[in-house]
Amino acid sequence: MALSIYSVVFAACVVFVLNVVIKTQLQRRKMPPGPPGIPLLGNALQLPSAFPWLKFTEWSKQYGPIYSLNLAGTPVVILNTFKTAADLMDRRSNIYSDRPRLIMASEILTGGIFMIFTKYGDVWRKMRRASHEEFSIRGCEKFQGQQHEEAALSVLDILETPDEWQDCLKRSTASNILTAVYGRERLTPKDKPLITRIHAHTARIAGAVVPGAYLVEIFPFMKHFPTWMAKWKKDGLDWYKRETDMFEKLCDDIDTQKHSFVRGLKENQARHGLTKPEAAWLAGIMFSAGAETTLGTLFNFVLAMTLYPNVMKRAQAEIDSVVGRDRLPNFDDKPRLPYIRAMVKESLRWRPVGPVAVPRRTTEARDDYYNGYLIPKGTTVIPNIWRVFFPMSAPWAMNHDPELYPDFEEFRPDRFLDESGQKDNVPPDTHEMGHGTFGFGRRICVGYNFANQVLFIQMAMMLWAFNFEAPLDDSGQPIVPDRSATIDAGVVVLPAPFKTKITPRSPDVPSTIRQELEHLGAL
């Protein structure tokens, strides 16, 4: 009798597995082409846990601008061109604005209220509306004064400790967003523990998103395990409580006399309808994500200036002709600094700090079709922004598409200017930005206006003040940074540590900065 029952159960399992395999195979035949996999697991074992975007770009050479994967039964579609991303995520945003289920990163570590991972619904809409009011292109203008002062102060910091330029920029980018979000005073070296904790927070969440990091993503029933038998769950819930306490305390300690994102949230609490934890986590996202991504772009900018002295000199010549040497660059100069504007775009395109956009998920409402291919409801969709650096014949993704950027490996800002060199010129389907680094559609990065402002004034200020060049070794030969070396820093991908020699362009740089900051009351 027992044997008979076991036989029936076994047979039922076999039928279930066969049904899943057959259904997946039939569905896959209608989807965009992609690499073959194995039964049940599909392509899951072919995807590395580190730098998965490199595998995405390798497959793009064989399967084209849009292809599909099967990750243990979950259909996945990879987009490799601006057109495919814009066609789906911009022009069909009502279908392609959801997120896949992220049990550890979203439901446990961040309590389901981390806006970047939140499902497309009422909570996300409330958070998005509240953040857009403050960080729209007009809303961000109110932060230009503090951004100008912070850029000048960061240059003074680098002048005093040029070998510690990375720490200076790390503190400056964190200070910029911290002041805007919480109305706090400028960060100083004594605030390093806070910066370290925020970086650890973002790295922890990023680590939880990596495919294969937690088995609960493959076996969702494990979420219901009691904490005494699931240490990963207990640790995740403990971290959620600690981070909530930290973000709520930061919100409670704001300076109510200064304008800030949090002050706006509190003043409009009834209209926004956010709970205290939701508002605290929304502010925390603005702080943590904004600091990480802007920092990575500035590191890449310094790398480019070290590798491309002619680009640096052309940018400096433009600044000198417009600004001169008796004052600092400011936002009023922006319309007359087209090459600097183009440099911001090129820095974001050349080495995108986010190699793939956060995955989307089609809504459960219906299947979709694109160019004759089936995209089933519930499909995970990933825009591939990155590209393998070498060899030159390697496949590409959006920001390094050779049809749009023939010399994609070169740092060349003038690609974003017309023949006159005065007007912006960008490829279609890039939201007038020239790249896909900030994402697409309704899930485009809400802080991109703020980030673009910071990058413009910081780059202009540093080029006004400094020369960058490769240092010399003991034999007098330049130590040229490795342009292809990168490190996965969790939320962002950064250039591998490199050396650059930073020197003031003239002896009066410090005095000119101090004089202007004293006039502004910042010193």
Both tokens of residue 291?
A: 């600091």
Report CA-CA distances (Å) from 315 to 45, 158, 305.
Answer: 47, 20, 10
For the chain, the farthest-separated pair of C-alpha atoms sits apart, in whole angstroms, at 95
Highest mean pLDDT among 421-425, 429-433, 466-470, 519-523: 466-470
pLDDT per residue as tens digits for the range 386-395 = 644 333 334 4
Return binding residues: 445
Residue, of 359 and 368, whose pLDDT is higher:
368
Contacts of 373 (CB under 8 A, 6+ apart): 30, 31, 32, 66, 68
Beta bridge partners of 76: 69, 380
Q: CB count, 10 Å around CB of 5?
A: 9
Q: What is the pTM of this model?
A: 0.88
pLDDT per residue as tens digits for the range 240-279 = 999 999 999 999 988 777 888 999 999 988 898 999 999 9
Distance of CA 33 to the CA centre of its chain: 28
Of the candidates 483, 486, 501, the one whose C-alpha atom is nearest the C-alpha of residue 307 is 483
- Rounded to the nearest integer, the mean pLDDT of the chain is 87
Return binding residues for heme: 445
Highest mean pLDDT among 127-131, 398-402, 421-425: 127-131
How far, in Å, CA of 112 to CA of 429, rounded?
31
pLDDT per residue as tens digits for the range 503-515 = 999 999 999 999 9
Cβ(241)–Cβ(281) under 8 Å?
no
What percent of the chain has a predicted confidence (pLDDT) above 70? Answer: 90
pLDDT per residue as tens digits for the range 45-78 = 877 766 666 777 788 888 888 999 988 788 899 9
